[in-house]
Structure 1
Amino acid sequence: MFSFFKKKQPFSVRIKEYDNVRLIAGMEITTCRKSMKKDVSQLQKKVQQHQSELRELSNPSGTMVISTTPDETGNFSYFLGAWVDIEEQEPPFIVKKLQPGLYAHIQVDFSVPENLTLNVAKAKHYFFEKWLPDSGYKVVDGIDSIELYDRRSQIGLPSIDLIFPLEKK
């Protein structure tokens, strides 16, 4: 029976298949939750200082954040970069590759920038606790999440994509 009171899922997970390698050029730091805000702020400034040196930005472009899962001491890597079309980049940039395969995408909406962190945390919780266990997939080892900030994060009803590389169980 149809119910008007059925609770709508807070997030929608879309599975996309990447047919080609996708390149992201940027910079990386190792940090922990305690010093993350300060470390990320310094990394953002450094990336902005050198942004004009990136070669062959993709069109459309997007800013990517890749976080790894914390190690036993609580440290993790935080990578900040942009989509590019070529792997050859000058230092201080390094290039990360998103390999062909399956990726889960969750659109995370936010009305003001201050809501973004909380909404990302809610989306991650939904993904790992509600969606993933019965999905038939697991997240590729070592990746906590990937965040894509593109032109949608600049509009009146902004959103980002939260991305997780998947493999079948």
Structure 2
Amino acid sequence: MAKLEVTLHQLEARNLYGVWGKSNDKTIAKDIAHISQQYYQITKKEKGNVLPFFVLSKDYNPSTQDFALFVGSVANSNCLESAVLPQGLYAKITVKPKFGFLWGLAIGEAKRFFYTQWLPTSDYKALNLEYEHHTQASNGRLPAIDILFAVTEKTL
């Protein structure tokens, strides 16, 4: 993968609508597929036809490796659950795998880079909320997605 770069962005709050579930570091790929399938069944949309699309995780517990997982978009429906991306500061990494089937590896590499290399040497701490932001750029020959991590400045 290309060199990873972290940029900081102040973002407004954003309401999302989708499906919540529980996940774990060991089952995340299977859980995203299952929750995404639920989302597409409820919305009666085909996979890949919903943009922007979000995969959000929060409330990570390091001792159990469990967390809450949300899959959805900005389109409201009475049949969907809601989530709020809070206003605040976010660190962003754009992931560009060489092939679409390598998304999981590329995302895992970006998250490891963020938590083990960038974050410990930065002036910021993570707020236990991160999400993938899929847009039209996620499709095509040179796909790209943004991974955003809620952060705040460290206090002395």
Q: Identify the TM-score tier after normalising by the shorter chain.
A: 0.7 to 0.9
Normalised TM-score (structure 1): 0.77
Residue of 23, 26, 31 corresponding to 2:23: 31
Partner of residue 80, structure 1: 71
Which whole-Å deviations, capped at 9, do the CAs of 1:43-99 have from their partners, x for residues lacking one?
22210012259xxxxxx9411001232353332221101024x6xx413x1111111
CA RMSD of aligned residues (A): 2.2
Q: 1:133 to 1:83 in 2, by over 3 A?
A: same
Indicate yes or no: 2:9 matched with 1:21.
no
Identity %: 26
Shift of 1:26: 0.7
Larger radius of gyration: 1
1:90 aligns with 2:75: no
- Write 1 or 2 for the structure with the bigger share of strand: 2
**d(CA) in 2 for partners of 1:90 and 1:71?**
34
1:65 aligns with 55
Match for residue 94 of structure 2?
107
| Cα contact 2:10–2:90 (8 A) shared by 1 | yes
Structure 2: segments with no counterpart, 5+ residues: none
- Equivalent position amino acid for 1:111 in 2: K
Which residue identity does 1:120 align to in structure 2?
A: I
CA shift in 2, pair 1:17/1:25, >3 Å? same
Structure 1's unaligned 5+ residue stretches are 1-8, 54-59
Deviation at 1:116, TM superposition (A): 1.2
Matched residues, number? 148
Choose the corresponding residue for 2:107, options 116, 120, 128. 120
- Classify 1:21/1:136 alpha carbon distance in 2 versus 1 (closer, same or farther; 3 Å): same
